[in-house]
Amino acid sequence: MSCQRWRFDRFLILTFIRDFSTKCCINIQHFSLICRKFHDKYLKRYLKLLNYYFNLCFSISVKRIKENVMLEKTIAKLKEEIVIIKNPDGSNGTGIILDDLSIIVTNSHVVTGCRNARIETNDRKPFIAKVIYSNKIIDFAFLLCNNLNINTRPVLSSRENILEGEDVVAIGHPFGYGFTVTKGIISSLRREVKGIEYIQTDVPINPGNSGGPLIDSRGEIIGINTWIVSNAQNLSFAVPSKYIIEAYNSLPPVEKILSGYYCPACGKMNDEKTKYCNHCGHQIFEDRLNEKIVKDTGYCIICRTQNEIDEKYCKKCGAKLLKKEEPKNSNNAGSIKPNETIECPGCGHKNRGQKYCRKCGKTLI
């Protein structure tokens, strides 16, 4: 009888544990009252085991809830720090503002061949950013836009205790659709491709996500999304933050950056304006800003000064700022005929059938 009773009691206990682990509907106090009726030492042992199991599950659940809340708060804050990068060729990318100096990190292939790029914040305000550094081998670059008022600062993480299988979130602007969040896990921490270690994930990445941050469960940036394997499913790679932190700490002061001259060929900054790069010897052509990226930004193409977006004239030199609402070929009395030659009052360059001077950009009419 004792053996049969033990089997019956053991069956009841295992049933209770199964119901607790699957449905979480067992009241611990009620279960302890049942155990007091039997006065069996095995029941007391299983009760201790059940209490330990309950405490363990509870602590893990609380930890995950805290991590999810922290991640949601981080994503909400990053909305102000994520920017869209637009190029004259129509391609888009993503960047993230790193500090209060408005230094932006993105991919090198997003700003290839550019010395300036058009950026738009989350509220769609356009600005002109200056490319100050580019690493084409690892594929990341820094931009500077000293007119952004951002008070928050994201955390670039270089911790070594990241685990494979850990949840990660990618933020970007796929196909220019705006702020988008996708989620996945880390597939491999150190996937070496052509001598460079990348973080491999299964996060869905699309064109336009390049340069966007890869965030862990703590809300820290562990990398920036770089490239995908086009013929595979959810096989994406990100540049680890350790490369970005090392390059960021070695950047020169802002005063030196503003007076420097960037070389698009090697991605390095020269101390002063020069015809040939002091690092690679490549010829640096004069930077001519495209009207597509300058319009409605408040940026003056003559004195290279950033004005307020709603300003019509530059506050430094008085030149008229480019606006989208202005038609390219005006039909009023001050319009220029197609074959008419006009000498620029600013630089003396002769233009034919142009509304703006090709050399200095000054308005001709």
Higher model confidence: residue 75 or residue 293?
A: 75
Kindly provide the b/e burial profile for residues 334-361, where b requires at least 16 CB atoms within 10 angstroms of the residue's own CB: eebeeeeebebebeeeebeebbbbeeeb
Residue 102 has what pLDDT? 86
Lowest model confidence (mean pLDDT) among 69-83, 181-195, 250-264: 69-83
Higher model confidence: residue 303 or residue 44?
A: 303
Q: Does the domain spanning 167-240 belong to CATH 1.20.200.10? A: no
How far is it, in rounded angstroms, from Cα 145 to Cα 362?
23
Domain ranges of the chain: 2-74, 167-240
Q: Rounded mean pLDDT of the chain?
A: 77
Residue 348 has what pLDDT? 73
State the residue for tokens 């979130």. 169
Kindly provide the b/e burial profile for residues 65-88, where b requires at least 16 CB atoms within 10 angstroms of the residue's own CB: eeeeeebeebbeebebbbbbbbbb
Residue 255 has what pLDDT? 85
At 35, the pLDDT band (50, 70, 90 cuts) reads low
**pTM for the whole thing?**
0.69
Higher model confidence: residue 303 or residue 336?
A: 303
Q: Per residue in 180-223, pLDDT tens?
A: 999 999 999 889 988 899 999 999 998 889 999 999 888 889 99
Asked if residues 284 and 131 have their Cβ atoms less than 8 Å apart, the reply is no
Q: Per residue in 215-249, pLDDT tens?
A: 988 888 999 999 998 888 889 999 999 999 999 99
Residue 271 has what pLDDT? 84
Is pLDDT above 70 for 157? yes
Asked if residues 265 and 228 have their Cβ atoms less than 8 Å apart, the reply is no
At 328, the pLDDT band (50, 70, 90 cuts) reads very low
Q: In angstroms, how far is the first alpha carbon of the chain from the final one? A: 109
Which of 39-43, 171-175, 295-299, 315-319: highest mean pLDDT?
171-175
Share of the chain above pLDDT 90, in %: 22
